[in-house]
Amino acid sequence: MKKIYLTILFMGLFVLVIRAQNIWTNEFHYDNVSTDENEFIEVVLEDAGSYSLSDFAVTLYNGNNGESYDTKTLDQFTMGDVEGDFTIYYYDYPSNGIQNGESDGIALSYQDVLIAGQFISYEGTLTAIGGPADGETSVDIGVSESGVESDQSLQLSGTGDQYAAFTWQEPALNTKGQLNNNQTFGGYTPDPEPSNYPTAFAGAAQGMKINLTWTDATGEQLPAAYIVYGTTGDTFPVPEDGTPVTDDTDFSDGEVALNVPFGDEGYSFNVDPNTSYSFTIYPYTNAGEYIDFKTDETAPVTDVMSANYIVVSSEEFSNALNTWSWTPYDVNGDEEWVWEENYGNPPGSAKMSGHTDANYPNEDWLISPELDLHSYMEVFFSFDHARNFATNDGLSVLVSSDYDGTSDPSVNGTWIDITNMFTFPENGTWVFSPAGEAEVVEHSGANTYFAFRYISTVEDAATWEVDNALVYGIISVGVEEIMKENISVYPNPATDRLNIVCPLQGQLRITNITGQVVLQKALNSGVNTVNVSAFEPGLYVVQFTGEEGNTSTQKLMIR
């Protein structure tokens, strides 16, 4: 009889431990415009009366070094609403009490043991050092709070009784201590896998990126999202039901993966120049342990050759002013360009303001190094920026091909105003956003300079912060000069049939002017005939790589 009682006791303890796992971070606020305030973290616990709240803890982790910087036990939290078996708790942190990222984390633990799936992060991932999440890598929730108001938060929505049933949403009005917007606690029935794949999946090279586009899947069961895989190799992984795929947009290891919500019919990846990339896409329903991928039939695939670009100048303003490749020039006024250490994309930017205790007249330039751009077929200039207070009236972007590099730019050099090629914030904001990418080849030469010009008056003195000033060029293919003698292509222009004479066996690749691969096949030595009747009229590039590794390239015109 004692053995039976002990067995029942141990079973009861086991159930208690299992239930202890059903706690999750439900909502939080960590960043807003101006001084951070109203910061809080909210958690949900099932069967709260069964536990000692002091056994649960919320630990905050620093993305810079991976170490924890704050821990609060659940008995320090304020109890909010009770919804059935679920109790909501929240803790109000002091101003700037929760770090703003990048890649800061939140860990939930029970008796100093990390609760499965409850080491989350925002604005990136991190690996914890010490504390309950020691050695674990966080899961990025995929949304962030840059530049929102202090009454907003990041929250879970959906219907269910555990963390995996909900999804994180973009910032919305906070519901601290209450059910979130569009959230219900209760039974959860997962959706079946999506009925169909998306269609018209295609990629095109544009500058330093490859732009993917597709048409959303249709059918009886629509997907919740897609996982997009990219590779520089020959094969893709196949996702497995019940195992979410973590976002990885860094192509440095030759592979990427990205979750894209249903309704977003495209994404752009940063890529290396003159490199062949392949992409595929799988739709899925649900999330967490319920995630259900469509993997039957054949997933769409697209192959793209990236543009042959070269980064000519890149200034991220990450460190002090004396390390910049760009040079400030103070034409008028006491205020000057300075380094803004705490703000940027990521933090670290160039800042100019004509306001201290009042508005003052100023004219200040920030000028790029001399750039030789004459040999590029296309030239692009881009940057990120934020503007607050006053208006955009005194903010300009200019380019010159005859400035001497040292004298007063307001009276020396011919400067062309290209401000209207970029996007400026309509309303004041501290949120950094891309200004756009301008094609400026018509303004480029052997000694080209770009400049940001700031002018303030006693009536109008904005604060302008700029970051990530980038100039890159697309190299002309130069097909006539690159081993043209190794292959013969005729007729050229062609309409339906193309003959290619090869000195040896090899691989043929034909791309359109956007870099999209339209044909790829093996060729034999001698005369090969290729059907090009389905090609759209226009310019193409024919590339042949022989069995010894040598490459021949020629232009092809289709009529």
d(CA 225, CA 310): 34
Residue 7: its H or E element: helix 2-20
* Cα distances (Å, whole numbers) of residue 181 to 151, 153, 256, 555: 14, 11, 32, 57
The CA distance from 79 to 83, in Å, is 12
Which positions of the chain have pLDDT values less than 70? 1-21, 476-486, 514
Asked if the domains 199-308 and 484-558 are classified in one and the same CATH topology, the answer is yes
Contact (CB, 8 A) for 343 and 242: no
Q: In what order do the strands lie in the sheet with 327-332?
A: 327-332, 362-367, 449-456, 395-400, 415-417
pLDDT value of position 499: 82
**Residue 232 · residue 275 · CB < 8 Å:** yes
- Is residue 270 within 8 A of residue 277, CB to CB? The reply is no
Check if the beta carbon of residue 227 is closer than 8 Å to that of residue 295. no
371 neighbors 449 (Cβ within 8 angstroms): yes
Q: Which string of DSSP letters, residue by residue, matches 124-171?
A: S--B-BSSTTTTPBPEE-S---TT--TTEEEEEEEEESSGGG-EE-S-
Cross-strand bridge partners of residue 470 = 314, 382
Phi, psi of 231 (to 5 degrees): -150, 155
CATH C-level class of 484-558: mainly beta
Strands of the sheet containing 551-558, edge to edge, are 517-523, 506-512, 538-546, 551-558
Q: Over pLDDT 90: what percentage of the chain?
A: 64
Domain ranges of the chain: 2-185, 199-308, 312-475, 484-558
- The per-residue b/e assignment along 379-402, b for 16 or more CB within 10 angstroms, e otherwise, is bbbbbbbbbbebeeebbbbbbbbe
Q: Is 77 helix (H, G, I), strand (E, B) or coil?
A: coil
Q: Which tokens sit at 359?
A: 């508005």
Burial class (CB in 10 A: 0-12, 13-18, 19+), 97: middle
CATH architecture assignment, domain 199-308: Sandwich (2.60)
Residue 431 to residue 426: CA distance in whole angstroms: 12
Q: Which class in CATH covers the domain with range 312-475?
A: mainly beta
- Would you say 212 and 302 are in contact if contact means Cβ atoms under 8 Å apart? yes
